Structure formats: structure tokens, C-alpha cells
A and B are shown apart, each in its own frame.
Chain A
Amino acid sequence: MSTQNLEILLVEDDPRDAELTLRALRKHNIANEVRVLQDGVQALDFLFGRGPFAAAERVRPRLILLDLKLPKVDGLEVLRAIKADANLRTVPVVMLTSSREERDLLESYRLGMNSYIVKPVDFEQFMESVRQVGLYWLLLNQAPGENREG
């Protein structure tokens, strides 16, 4: 598997939230290579090189931003698949959700998610949340298998 320059895989079914997230990432110069997928099936196909992505070279993102509530296959299922895979397990996964739900939070932690973010309604707060998440997981945190200097 190649470690192309894909920095963030954003799995988000709401195009408005996706746009806001991308805006925040670009505004703060956190990531240039961001791939946006709309549902859980697409995400799994992409990550495991299946379906429309069977022919393409498999890509291992450096960070996955995963909406919890997704069409077809929900975020928890995608998370389960990622954390069950020896190769993908070490990719940090940040769960994004619209509301703090105790059950989801517990289940996400149980499955080995790395962060759980409730998307703020307030624009400034939303920008700030995305900035901090990107900053932490892409710039400050050292993940295994990465050979980054500085």
C-alpha cells in the first residue's frame, strides 16, 4: 500500500457540513489533500480497495474524520472495520457528530476511536474545533509508521 499524500479522509453526508469543514481546514492551512466521501459504503470501498476503488491504488490517509450518522453503513460500522484491520488500525479516527449521545460515545470509545467531537452550531466555534483537531492529529501527534521530520 502506498502512503500517498492523502492527509485527511472526510466521511460526511451533509454537503454543508463538508463545506464548512473544508473551509476551516483551508483557512488554517492544515491540510491540502482532503478526500470527501458521502456514505459508509463509499468509505469502506475506498479504504479496503473494493467496488469502484478496486482498480485504484490503495491509499492510507493520515487522519480520518468520520461522521457518526451516515447513510447505508453508519459511522460506528466503518470505525469497527477500520479498527479491526491490522493496517488501518493505527490511523487516527476522529468521530464527528451533531449531538452528544452517551451510547454512541461509549461505543465509539469501546471500538478504539481516537477523538469524539460534537460539531458546534456556532460558526466560529466550529472553525476552531476543526482547526484544533487538524492541528493536533496532523501536526502534533506522532502516529506509528509515519516518518515525519519536524
Chain B
Amino acid sequence: MEITSHTLDFALHRAELVLALDVTERLRDRRRLEESEQRFREIFNSMNDAVFIHDAESGRILQVNQRTLDLYGIREEEALAADFDHFSRGEEGFSVREAGEWLRKAREEGPQLFEWRSRAATGHVIWAEVNLRYVQLGDKSRILAVVRDISRPQGAEFSAREREIGLELACLLAVALHQHHLQDEVVQHSSELERRVVERTTQLQAANEELEAFTYSVGHDLRSPLRAVDGFSRMLEEDHADSLDAEACRLLGVIRDSTRQMDRLINDLLTLSRVSRIELRREWVDMGALVREVYPEVCAHETEDACALELAELPSVWGDRGLLRQVWLNLLGNAVKFSRHSAVKRVEVTGEVLDGVCRYSVRDQGAGFDPACGHKLFGVFQRLHAAHENEGSGVGLALVQRIVRRHGGQVLAEGAPERGACFHFQLSEQEEKS
């Protein structure tokens, strides 16, 4: 009960007015309020998250809980007096300006959830998850900031999900590291490769120079004694004809034939080695004209009726005229040579252009060859026919192949014994861009 007394003048008499009010309800209400406030304060302070209550307009901090003081290592007065600067890192994305922006968004756009890098009094960095919510408390606008520390204290346990994420991250990192390592290796290998290429090129150049010196001395040194053999046997013949009988002259003839053959061989070998070494001098070559020019030369040594030449129209080609002449000389020469004993003495030369590639063919009806031995045709000193008079040195087709290859083309042969042979060679119509 709440009892109040009042002294009154009542009809000239002092009167005492005593009022007795039942305030049970009021007291109960107040106690309830106090209890509620106490409960709120306990909850507020025992929360594991730091809570700030801001004035929505000014952003000023009105109240903080115990966790805030613990987390940031400050006292309550300090917290209430502090401005944003105190809790932000001041770096890009976490400055006072951005903090103000988050508050504005919470006020105008609704609750905001974001991560924030803030700073404790001790200076260490706190990674926090911040939940901002605009609330109306009576007639007051407030912003509640619930801040959860998500930086991981040492020795803290990780959840299964976190471990999973961690594992995944570790895998990604491992892959990235591995890739980096591989990349390093690739770089290392390619420089190693480059070094080896340089080394091999140098070796190759040395070998080439050696070969060049060798062919030079073969050409020079072998020819000198050969010239002497030929010359001196001829001198013997000339100066001592009287004392030489027919058999002696025959023997001298064999000697001279042999030197001529060896001379041809040496020349062909030198040509072969030269073809590999010289620079191609390319120009537009009229192949038809070249065949017409070469063919009489090829037939000049033929004693019997010459082969008939059937020449179709041939495409011109971008190549080394001198070398291509050698190709025709050898291919036409072979065709004529191997047709000597055949019934049909005819050499057909045809050509066509397909997709920028010129293909030329030389076909005869002569002795042909066994396709099983076809691969031997282009080897140096390979012969598929017994050596006889005027037989070549065995270098001709090797020379043809080398010249065609130097032009970036290829040679093919078709044939059957006594059914003739056909040689094709292909060249790019235009110079290949390299």
C-alpha cells in the first residue's frame, strides 16, 4: 500500500486526509521492469557477439556489451566516446567512409550483413562478421550492430564444413603450386632444349665443314693421280706405239676406261655433295622448255634409233633451273637407257598442278624394275641392273631425290620388270613461306 497524508483546512478545522492506495500493481510492474532490464543486461553482456547500439542519425555509439569491451580490449567509457576510426582499419574497403556507408545502407535499405576488418586496442586485426539492423525503439531510431569475431584463435577447432573447405583450398593450392612447378620445369626444359639445339647445330656445322673439306680433298686429291694414270698411259701409247702390240694397247685401253669411270664417279659424288651445300637460286622455270633442251643431249650418245619423246604441256615452277636440269637429265637419261632393248621406245613426260603442287611424270616402256627393290632405287651406288657399258655411276637417282627434296618436294617410282618404269616428282608451284 502506498499511504499519503495531507493536512487540510476543512471548515475552520484542521483535518488530516489520509489516502491509502493499493500500489501492488505498480510495484509489480516496476519489479517486472527491473527484472526485465536485468535479464536484458545479463543476456546483453553474456552474448558471444559484440553488440553496438548506434544512434541511427549521428552514428554515435550509445551502448556496447561486455563482449565488445573484451573483444576490442577497451573500457566502456572509451567505447562510448570512440568514433568509427577506433574500430576500422583505415585501409581500402575498411575505412571510416565505408563504415558510414554501411550504416547508411542499413538505415535506408534494410539489414546488412558483411565482413569487416577491424582493429583491437592491442593493434591486432580482427576479422568480423557484422550484422547491421535498423530498429525503432519507442520514438528513437537506433542501429544495432552485432559483430562476430571470425578470426580464428590459435588451437581452435574447425568444423567439418570448414575442414572440407580447407581441404579443397589446400588441393587448389597444391594444384596451383604444382602447375607453377611444372611451368618452371617447362621453362627450364625449353632453355635446356635451346642449349642443346645450339650445341647440336654447332656440332652439325662442324660435321658439315668437315664433310665439305673431305669432299673438296676427294675431288682434288683423287683426281690428280687419276689424271696421271690416264695421261701417262696415253703418253705411253703415243710415244711407244711401235713397241706395243695389240694386247698391250688393249690393256692400256682398259686402264683408260677405268680412269674415265672413276672420274665420272668422283664428279657425281662431288655434284651430290654440292647439291646439299649450295644455296638454291630460285626463278620461274619453264619445265617444258627445259625438257626440250635436255632431251637431245640425253639421246646424243645413243647409237640405235632414239626414243620418241611425247611431251605434254608442263606447268612452270619456282625452282633452281640448274638443279632441275640435272633432275630431267637423270630421269630422261634413265628412261632412254633402259628402253634400249625394249620393243616400244617411247618416253612420255606429263605434268599437272594440284592444290599448288606441280607433279611431273616420266614414263617409259623399258626394262622396269622389281617393286620389291623400289626402296633401293634412290640410294647412292645402288643399282638394280648389272653394270655394263655406259652404265651410270649409281648416283643419278640419289641426286634426283636430293635436288627434289631440297626444293621441298618428293620423288616416287612405279614399275614392274619388263613393264617399264614411271618416275614422279612433286614440287611446290610457289616458294614456300618459311
Q: A121-B263, A122-B263 are in contact. Are A16 and B216 (CB under 8 A)?
A: no
Q: Is residue B260 within 8 Å, beta carbon to beta carbon, of the partner chain?
A: yes
Chain B residue contacts of A123, Cβ below 8 A? 227, 230-231, 234-235, 256
Chain A residue contacts of B278, Cβ below 8 A? 102
Whether A16 lies near B220 (C-beta < 8 A) is no
Interface segment out of the listed A3-11, A44-52, A78-86, A93-101: A93-101
Residue among A17, A23, A98, A101 having the largest count of chain B Cβ atoms under 10 Å: A98
Chain A residue contacts of B125, Cβ below 8 A? none
- Total number of A residues with any Cβ neighbor in B under 8 Å: 18
Which residues in chain A, 118-134, are within 8 Å of chain B measured between CB atoms?
A: 119-124, 126
Chain A residue contacts of B221, Cβ below 8 A? 98
Whether B260 lies near A121 (C-beta < 8 A) is yes
Whether A14 lies near B234 (C-beta < 8 A) is no
Min CB–CB distance B326 → chain A (angstroms): 15
Chain A residue contacts of B232, Cβ below 8 A? 16
Whether A23 lies near B235 (C-beta < 8 A) is yes
Min CB–CB distance A71 → chain B (angstroms): 13
Q: Who on chain A is nearest to B239 by CB? A: A23
Q: What CA separation (Å) do A60 and B38 show in the bound complex?
A: 135
Query: Of A69, A102, A119, which is within 8 A of B227 by CB?
Result: A119
Whether A122 lies near B223 (C-beta < 8 A) is no
Instruction: Tell me whether chain B's interface is mostly helix, strand or loop, or mixed.
Output: helix
Q: A16-B224, A99-B270 are in contact. Are A121 and B230 (CB under 8 A)?
A: yes
Whether B231 lies near A98 (C-beta < 8 A) is no
Query: Of B228, B235, B263, B274, which is within 8 A of A17 by CB?
Result: B228
Whether B235 lies near A101 (C-beta < 8 A) is no
Q: What CA separation (Å) do A120 and B226 show in the bound complex?
A: 10
Residue among A69, A119, A123 having the largest count of chain B Cβ atoms under 10 Å: A123
Q: Is residue A20 within 8 Å, beta carbon to beta carbon, of the partner chain?
A: yes
Min CB–CB distance B273 → chain A (angstroms): 11
Q: Is residue B259 within 8 Å, beta carbon to beta carbon, of the partner chain?
A: yes
Min CB–CB distance B18 → chain A (angstroms): 143
Q: What CA separation (Å) do A97 and B221 show in the bound complex?
A: 11
B224-262 Cβ-contact flags toward A at 8 Å (1 or 0): 111110111011000000000000000000001001100
Chain B residue contacts of A122, Cβ below 8 A? 230, 260, 263
Whether A98 lies near B234 (C-beta < 8 A) is no
Chain A residue contacts of B392, Cβ below 8 A? none
Whether B220 lies near A121 (C-beta < 8 A) is no
Whether A121 lies near B219 (C-beta < 8 A) is no
Whether A14 lies near B260 (C-beta < 8 A) is no
B200-236 Cβ-contact flags toward A at 8 Å (1 or 0): 0000000000000000100111011111101110110
Residue among B219, B227, B228, B234 having the largest count of chain A Cβ atoms under 10 Å: B227
Q: Who on chain B is nearest to A123 by CB? A: B234
Min CB–CB distance A82 → chain B (angstroms): 22
Chain B residue contacts of A120, Cβ below 8 A? 227
Query: Of A69, A102, A126, which is within 8 A of B220 by CB?
Result: A69
Q: List 28 A-B contacts (CB under 8 A).
A: A16-B224, A16-B228, A16-B231, A17-B224, A20-B227, A20-B228, A20-B231, A69-B220, A97-B220, A98-B220, A98-B221, A99-B216, A99-B220, A99-B270, A101-B219, A102-B274, A102-B278, A121-B227, A121-B230, A121-B259, A121-B260, A121-B263, A122-B260, A123-B227, A123-B230, A123-B235, A123-B256, A126-B227
CB-based closest 3 A-B pairs: A99-B219, A16-B228, A123-B234
18 additional contacts, CB 8 Å, given A17-B227, A123-B256? Answer: A14-B228, A16-B224, A16-B231, A69-B220, A97-B220, A98-B221, A99-B220, A99-B270, A101-B216, A101-B219, A121-B226, A121-B227, A121-B259, A121-B263, A122-B230, A123-B231, A123-B235, A126-B231
